[in-house]
Amino acid sequence: MAELIDIFKENGEKVGTISKRNYYSWTDENLPWIKCATCFVIDDKNKKILFEKRGKRFLDPGKLDLCSGHVRSGEIPMQCMIRELDEELSIKQEDSQNLHYLGNVQVDYTKLKDETNRKNLKCFVSVYALKMQDIDKIKIDNIEAINMGFLDFDDAIGFIQNSMTRMPYEESLKLQYDLIFQNLKQYMFQKDKDYEQKLK
């Protein structure tokens, strides 16, 4: 059965529903917007961020990515994120119910300067973070993701800013991303003042 996603105008007004396959086959210049969600999964004990390596059958194979997905028709972004965390990383709802919202990034991939990130996609991305106390519960599905690893905060942000992940960091998006990073840092270290002091 085809996966259905809602489509929107740039101002966020819903204009219809379409199969995901038909969306990525869209040929005219009036490509609508869709909604996606992504999550910084955090090893809370060691203060590190999880990155996946994308599987070969999916967008941007081999690239590093956060746990991410398309918001299906009828879902809200948080429901999408809870579903994706389970599908990609086997993180069950009892662990993902404490998702923390970091903000939104509005990305028109068709206008990106970096050719490696340019694609037929315009997306409102809801960004979340989730602290995991027990990372042994995390198991990749070996389909969408083929490997995973953890980076400390500075290295993780550096990877994103230097275009080493699927997240398109360009000048036009800098203010949106930098607010996300600020909120992420505050969330990651809010209960660990000693660790935060070491970062300064």
Mean pLDDT (whole number) for 187-198: 66
Helices within the chain (DSSP H only): 20-24, 77-89, 93-96, 153-161, 174-189, 193-199
Task: Using pLDDT thresholds of 50, 70 and 90, give the confidence band for residue 57.
Answer: low
Mean pLDDT (whole number) for 126-142: 92
pLDDT digits (tens, 9 = 90+) for 7-41: 999 999 999 999 999 999 998 889 999 999 999 99
What is the reported pTM? 0.91
- Of the chain, the end-to-end C-alpha distance in Å amounts to 51
Lowest mean pLDDT among 36-50, 85-99, 134-148: 134-148
pLDDT greater than 90 at residue 60: no
Query: In 3-state terms, what secondary structure has residue 58?
Result: coil
pLDDT computed for residue 166 by the predictor = 87
pLDDT computed for residue 55 by the predictor = 67
Q: Which long-range contacts (CB under 8 A, 24 or more apart) does 6-14 make?
A: 6/34, 6/35, 6/71, 6/73, 6/74, 7/32, 7/33, 7/34, 8/32, 8/33, 8/34, 8/35, 8/124, 9/33, 10/122, 12/124
Mean pLDDT (whole number) for 38-57: 90
Which pair of tokens denotes residue 122? Answer: 């315009």
pLDDT computed for residue 150 by the predictor = 96
pLDDT digits (tens, 9 = 90+) for 62-104: 789 999 999 999 999 999 999 999 999 999 999 998 899 999 9
pLDDT greater than 50 at residue 173: yes
pLDDT computed for residue 59 by the predictor = 62
CA–CA gap between residue 81 and residue 38 (Å, rounded): 7
pLDDT digits (tens, 9 = 90+) for 109-121: 999 998 878 889 9
Task: Using pLDDT thresholds of 50, 70 and 90, give the confidence band for residue 193.
Answer: low
Q: What domains can you pick out in the chain, each with its CATH number?
A: 32-199 (3.90.79.10)
- In 3D, which of 158, 148, 32 has the Cα closest to residue 88? 148
